[in-house]
Amino acid sequence: MRITILLLIFGTCQVASKEFTKVVETVTPSVVAIGLYTPLENSGNQVLGTGFVVADGKRAVTNYHVVSKILDPQIVQHYVVITGKGTKIQAFKAEVLEIDPLHDLALLEFDGSLPSAMLASDTMLKPGTDVAFTGFPIGAALGIYPATHKGMVSAITPDAIPAQNANQLTSAMLNRLNKPEMVYQLDATAYPGNSGSPVYSVEKGEVVGVINKVFVSQGKESALSAPSGISYAIPIKHVNALLKKRNL
């Protein structure tokens, strides 16, 4: 009897693993790198973060802080949406259509067409829900290779990184605490290049949020060498609202 139960559990885990593999395969084509093309400074594209394709396949969502740089009008310089794998990539010229600095979101339009991600409804997930996210955690040092991480929603919390003492509280953090925007706190390890990565359901692959920051406990350098394992994501309802501004 015990052996039979163990075999059933093992078989169930195998099925769940195969199903999740299919979900990742479905989501990944809609995940793109967001870069900056400046031929006078670099022959290639500087990867700034991650994004995901939405709507008609010609728009992408990322974090506002990924594309907040003021481009130099004196030289050839523009944002790009990058797709592909390894060194076999395509880069499409992109421009920023809409921004939502409060929720750290931006909507881009690019001169290409790619598979769109499925977006979830505005309903917030409950703590304990399993999620995953796919993106480019270390940029393009060795080429474009999308990486997937799993975790769970650990809390719904105000959008302000915790401070160890009162001296570390900034005016922006205090304003956010006075009028809190609620975001997902994830028990999952993300890295700087994951900014803009879609957070999605492990069962259906529907995008439920957008990675926008990580909790750094030992200085910026430790974000790569000693990650805290605590990440934050903007709920998808703010992406849906951004798209509605463009009737998408």
Residue 16 has a pLDDT of 59
pLDDT band at 164 (very low <50, low <70, confident <90, very high): very low
Residue 84 within a domain: yes
Q: Which amino acid is at 92?
A: F
The Cα angle at residue 94 between residues 88 and 96, in degrees rounded to 5: 145
Structure-token pair, residue 147: 């990486």
Residues 6+ apart with CB under 8 A from 213: 104, 161, 195, 231, 232
Q: Which helix (H) or strand (E) element contains residue 3?
A: helix 2-27
Whether residue 134 sits in one domain with residue 100: no
Please list the helix, strand and coil fractions of the chain in percent, rounded to the nearest 5, in that order. Answer: 25, 40, 35
Whether residue 195 sits in one domain with residue 89: no
Is the pLDDT score of 14 beyond 60? no
Whether residue 238 sits in one domain with residue 134: yes
Quote the CA–CA distance of 149 and 20 in Å, as a whole number.
12
Residue 126 has a pLDDT of 96
Whether residue 154 sits in one domain with residue 237: yes
Segments forming the whole domain that contains residue 179: 130-245
Structure-token pair, residue 168: 């570390």
Render pLDDT for 171-184 as a digit per residue (tens, 0 to 9): 655 565 566 789 99
Whether residue 173 sits in one domain with residue 70: no
Mean of the per-residue pLDDT values of the chain: 84
Residue 173 has a pLDDT of 53
Render pLDDT for 47-97 as a digit per residue (tens, 0 to 9): 999 999 999 999 999 999 999 988 888 888 999 999 998 888 999 999 999
DSSP 139-191: TTBTBB--EEEEEEEEEEEESS---SSGGG--HHHHHHHHSPPEEEEEES---
HSE-CB at 16 with a 13 A cutoff on CA atoms is 9
Residue 178 within a domain: yes
The domain tally of the chain equals: 2
Whether residue 139 sits in one domain with residue 103: no
Whether residue 141 sits in one domain with residue 104: no
Is the pLDDT score of 165 beyond 70? no
Quick check: helix, strand or coil at residue 118? coil
What CATH number is associated with residue 148?
Answer: 2.40.10.10
Higher pLDDT, 18 or 235: 235
